Amino acid sequence: MAERRQLHLGAFMRPVSIHTGAWRYPGAWPDANFNFPRLVRLVQTLERGKFDAFFMADHLALLNMPIESLRRSHTVTSFDPLTLLPALAAVTERIGLIATASTTYNDPYHVARKFASLDHISNGRAGWNLVTTANPDAALNFGHDEHMAHGERYKRAREFYDVVTGLWDSFADDAFIRDVESGIFWDPARMHVLNHKGPELSVRGPLNVARPVQGWPVIVQAGASEAGRQIGAETAEMIFAAGGPIADAQAFYADVKGRAAKAGRNPDHLKILPGALVVVGDTDEEARAKRAHLDSLVHYESAIGSLSSILGVDARAFDPDAPLPEIPETEASKSGRERAINLGRRENLTVRELAQRIGGYAGAAIVGTPATIADTMEEWLEGRACDGFNVMFPYVPGGLDEFVDRVVPELQRRGLFRREYEGTTLREHLGLPRPENRFFPRQARAAE
Amino acid sequence: MAERRQLHLGAFMRPVSIHTGAWRYPGAWPDANFNFPRLVRLVQTLERGKFDAFFMADHLALLNMPIESLRRSHTVTSFDPLTLLPALAAVTERIGLIATASTTYNDPYHVARKFASLDHISNGRAGWNLVTTANPDAALNFGHDEHMAHGERYKRAREFYDVVTGLWDSFADDAFIRDVESGIFWDPARMHVLNHKGPELSVRGPLNVARPVQGWPVIVQAGASEAGRQIGAETAEMIFAAGGPIADAQAFYADVKGRAAKAGRNPDHLKILPGALVVVGDTDEEARAKRAHLDSLVHYESAIGSLSSILGVDARAFDPDAPLPEIPETEASKSGRERAINLGRRENLTVRELAQRIGGYAGAAIVGTPATIADTMEEWLEGRACDGFNVMFPYVPGGLDEFVDRVVPELQRRGLFRREYEGTTLREHLGLPRPENRFFPRQARAAE
């Protein structure tokens, strides 16, 4: 059993859940967004479940949805991840802590310094989810009239990565001597001044923080576009992938790992974890009923707006309690439209049910008993569709507790998931090497 | 006794101490800079001592001193305050947490969001020390060729303050209804879009964080220049003042409080806390001997450089073990030069001792028994030279423990300092009102 491929589990969370109806679910915590004790309870439960990491999204503006939907959404506000995660680091000991930070609306010196600080505070548990920010409204909060174009954003992101990792390497791991006798605190010969002057960024350095415990915090990415896949293959150590049919996931997995190999990297040092909403029940039927109940809590007014926009037609005209009528070709994205139509047919959903499903959470889901869920996870892992999952809970704390108390033991029983943390750092949990300092390489070990 | 004017105490700390020789002091923690458990021990000791706040400086580049001094200094690196303080919030319950953040090298949206997040996480204990950054090297780490001029920095700082406080007021305190029944999470009529377009900054808003627990985190400033005093009088709620002779402190106190009144503010809502290095001994002689020992740990090579630059002559030529010779008029700042010369005469110091005193910590100090220290503090408080002190400890943990275990009880015995926290927020500790939301004023209470 010890030889089995091991699952990695991240928890991708909005405090109240990623599902827009979750705050209305019985037993949910509608006030979790700014209630720190509740968040402590969540992360400590994840640590009890031996999760590799808690993974936090970020938004630099209100979500850009119609106000009619927005006023019904608990996702309108959120903590700054780089302020929340240090606080959660202080109340946990092992779980990794991944914060999202934009390369478009930040200075690399701040980003390098904050993640380095988090890595020291957490004793090596920090990860940086590098994003370029998709919401164009963010630009207006940062002194710009319009959002930077996609290509431009990725160009800056790539250079930003070089600068931040270069700043983390400002000091050799052994730069701080602290020799009380001689009075020498550190050795200037073991400090590197970056002096970066690139097309997008100009940063002198050095960083005024000692090299992070992990060398570098773990680099995480989620881009699915061509540019996103390429930068991920070149630089990411964990990729938050989309779910979808297993064949699509296998193709994505093979593509990105292949690109990594082509870039001269060991593909095992890049872990691919698709996101999945996991709903647990005593029976598969009960789990589906829970999901249906959750979806039913999405207000029809906002749900039908989401469905209309995916279909490219005004779905308000349809009978909410009848199946979806024939939909003509429209200007809307073909794949999204077809996915919605097929979902309605396959599960025999009414217009209302389909709208609420899509308005609640449109991404991949695994719904069933602990055994059904473990079967799916095992199939994906063995089938080289993933290296694990970024799990989303349908409501908290209930959905989280069910996963930790029922699904995790089933995965452990099958030998697919750790029973105890073996290392102390996020890199160790994920099986990633500690990067060498590019300016102060160690002597080659072979020469010793 | 309950009627006595009350002292407020902040702790202004570098992890290892503000004194450059501190890391070599017997029992000191040379590794405290990036050792989180040590910092937990420090802040929990301060909370045991009922301090109003832990106050953390910030630096956006290495300190700009000659490398020969810098390599002997433990102040070369430091945590990002906005990453450290949330972690310290999670291990404390009452003490205020003040982080320094620059208005010159930050975006106001980030600053507003991080302090609002810290205020929620700490349940109302955040303070923002608004600085414009004096070290010109910071510019080079943020894409600029040169540092912004002093006047320009203060112009931006004033507008930055308006934007940040405006963003904190984005939501009315009662905007989040979270009505599970109706499915309305929040009320868009209780949200204000800032739409700020000023000469320096353009920020649309709203902030995507609920209004802070304190309304606004406490505003702290330390500027001593004409522009610094004026912005402090207009906007600060706590001022970190320079020490010096009591007459100077009284003049500063009267000047700033007068400016605040002239700006239409209640001068009691602006607390003035000079910084003071406090060295405790069983006798005044023992305390002075501790200070002398601490100073002697400053390496002569860096100390004599500091003295040379203050005097404007090459002091390396002097006999280190003789008194300071006559110093001619030079180009160096007259006040600094005269202060150094007078200090040497008054305390009968050798060139070496004078250099080490100035190289260790050149600011104000209170050195003596707990009673002597309390006498000085009482004299300053009663004499309207201050509302309290930002205490600096000569070495940690020893110097901190001595203050908390011996000086605090003496201040409490005299009825000058709280025995228990009465409130839960930093505003309550400091006796400051909670600001109204400028966009959603409450009904006038008189009309109720």
| A227-245: pLDDT as tens digits | 889 999 999 999 999 888 9
B71/A23 touch (CB, cutoff 8 Å), yes or no: no
Residue A194 in 3-state DSSP? coil
Q: Which residue has the tokens 């045991």?
A: B48
- Amino acid making up residue B51: F
Q: Which residues contact B6 (CB under 8 A, 6 or more apart)?
A: B416, B417, B418, B431
Give B-chain residues touching A185 at CB under 8 angstroms.
Answer: 23, 30, 71-74, 76
* Check whether domain A8-281+369-439 has CATH 3.40.50.1000, yes or no: no
Domain ranges of chain B: 8-281+369-439, 286-360
Identify the CA nearest to B222 among candidates B287, B305, B132, B137. B132
List all residues 6 or more positions away from B95 whose beta carbon is below 8 Å from its beta carbon: B43, B46, B47, B51, B52, B53, B54, B125
Q: Give residue for tokens 């409501």.
A: A395
Distance CA A127, CA A236 (A): 11
- What's the gap in Å between the CA of B147 and the closest CA on chain A? 13
CB contact (8 A) between residue A76 and residue B40: no
User: For residue B202, what are the β-bridge partners?
Assistant: B197
Cβ(B270)–Cβ(B238) under 8 Å? yes
CB contact under 8 A, B180 and A30: yes
B259 lies within 8 A of chain A by CB: no
Low-confidence ranges of chain A (pLDDT < 70): 1-2, 443-448
The answer to whether A368 and A394 have CB atoms below 8 angstroms apart is no
pLDDT one digit per residue (tens) for chain B, 448 residues: 457 999 999 999 888 888 999 999 999 999 999 999 999 999 999 999 999 999 999 999 998 778 888 899 898 899 999 999 999 999 999 999 999 999 999 999 999 999 999 999 999 999 999 999 888 899 999 999 888 888 999 999 999 999 999 999 999 999 999 999 999 999 999 999 999 999 999 999 999 999 999 999 999 999 788 888 999 999 999 999 988 899 999 999 999 999 999 999 999 999 999 999 999 999 999 999 999 999 999 999 889 988 988 898 899 999 999 999 998 887 777 778 888 999 999 989 999 999 999 999 988 999 999 999 999 999 999 999 999 999 999 999 999 999 999 999 999 999 999 999 999 999 999 999 999 999 999 864 444 3
pLDDT of residue A2: 53
Nearest to A62 among B105, B114, B206 (CB): B206
Q: In this complex, is the C-beta atom of B107 within 8 Å of any C-beta atom belonging to chain A?
A: yes
Looking at residue A448, its pLDDT comes to 38
Amino acid identity of residue B189, one-letter, is A
Q: List the single residue in A with minimal CA-CA distance to B212.
A: A34
Give the residue from A33, A168, A185, A209 with the most B CB atoms within 10 Å of its CB, the best one to mutate: A185
Phi (first) and psi of residue B157, to 5 degrees: -60, -40
List the structure tokens of B432. Answer: 């400051």
pLDDT at residue number A446: 44
pLDDT at position A145, please?
Answer: 87
Angle at B75 between CA B97 and CA B41, to 5 degrees: 45
The residue of chain B nearest to residue A167, with distances taken between CA atoms, is B141
Provide CB contacts within 8 A for B152, sequence distance 6+. none
Task: Write the single-letter amino acid at B200.
Answer: E
Distance between CA atoms of A7 and A9, rounded to whole angstroms?
A: 6
- Which A residues in the span 369-428 are in contact with B, Cβ-Cβ below 8 Å? none
CB–CB contact A83 B117 (8 Å)? yes
* A-B contacts (CB, under 8 Å): 193
- CA–CA separation, B14 and B395 (whole Å): 10
- Residue that has been written with the tokens 């600011």 in this structure: B363
Cα gap A432→B6, rounded to integer Å: 55
Q: How confident is the model at residue A21, as a pLDDT?
A: 93
- The pLDDT, as a whole number, for residue B443 is 60
- B304 to chain A, closest Cα gap in Å: 15
B84-B411-B23 Cα angle (round to 5) = 40
pLDDT for the residue A443: 61
pLDDT at B66: 82
Q: Given an 8 Å threshold on Cβ–Cβ distance, is B208 in contact with A297?
A: no
Report the distance separating Cα B96 and Cα B78, nearest Å.
20
Task: Compute how many other C-beta atoms are within 10 angstroms of the C-beta atom of residue A277.
Answer: 24
A23, A31, A44, A77: best mutation site toward chain B, by most B Cβ within 10 Å? A77
Residue A172 DSSP SS3: coil
Check if B105 contacts A (Cβ < 8 Å): yes
Tell me if B180 and A62 make a contact (CB, 8 A cut-off). no
Identify the DSSP state of A444: P
| Cβ–Cβ < 8 Å for A367, A276 | no
Pairwise CA distance, residues B13 & B16, whole Å: 8
Of A359, A393, A34, residue with least CA distance to B183: A359
Touching B: A residues 268-287, CB under 8 Å: none
Task: Pick the residue of A75, A121, A163 with the most B CBs within 10 A to test the interface with B by mutation.
Answer: A121
B439 touches chain A (CB under 8 A): no
Could you give the 3-state DSSP secondary structure of residue A11?
strand
Q: For residue A20, what are its two tokens? A: 């827009």
What letter does residue A442 receive in the DSSP assignment? Answer: P
Counting Cα atoms < 13 Å in the Cβ hemisphere of B373 gives: 31
Mutate to test the interface with A, among B83, B128, B184 (most CBs of A within 10 A): B83
CB contact under 8 A, A121 and B84: yes
Cα–Cα distance between A60 and A58 in angstroms, integer?
7
Could you give the C-alpha distances from A92 to A10, A11, A78, A216, B85, in angstroms and in order? Answer: 15, 15, 21, 20, 16
Pair type for strands B196-197 and A196-197: unpaired
Ranges of H-type helices in A236-270: 246-262
Q: What is the distance, to the nearest Å, from the Cα of residue A105 to the centroid of all Cα atoms in its chain?
A: 19
| Residue labelled with tokens 């390429």 | A230
Residues of chain B in contact with residue A186, where contact means CB-CB under 8 angstroms, are: 71, 76
CB contact (8 A) between residue A202 and residue B82:
no
* Chain A residue with the nearest C-alpha to that of B140: A204
Cis peptide before B328 (omega within 30 of 0): no
- List B residues 110-169 in contact with A (Cβ-Cβ < 8 A): 110, 113-114, 117-118, 120-121, 123, 137, 140-143
The amino acid present at B274, given as its one-letter code, is P
- Contact between B123 and A183 using a beta-carbon 8 Å cutoff: no
